[in-house]
Amino acid sequence: MKERTFNNADSFAISFDEEWQRLECEDESLKISKVIDLLSDHPFVQSNPETAFKIANFRINSLGKFR
């Protein structure tokens, strides 16, 4: 998916979900940080790092993704 990344929340969410499923880590908070680190070259993470972290937390904790 890296060839089609855009500077928007939807593109970040797609990339985040893909990396989340690949990474093995039991601690959700640590895993969120690790995934965002892996996506540090994503345009949305570069321009909106705080919002990217909020979106990641929302996806995992509020939406209950991957539980």
Please state the pTM of the whole predicted model.
0.87
Which stretches of the chain score pLDDT less than 50?
Answer: 1
Q: Read off the pLDDT of residues 14-31 as tens digits, 9 standing for 90 and up.
A: 999 999 999 999 999 999
Contacts 24+ apart (CB under 8 A), 8-14: 8/44, 9/44, 9/51, 9/55, 11/42, 11/43, 11/44, 12/39, 12/42, 12/44, 12/45, 12/52, 12/55, 13/55, 13/59
Going from N- to C-terminal start, the domains of the chain cover 7-62
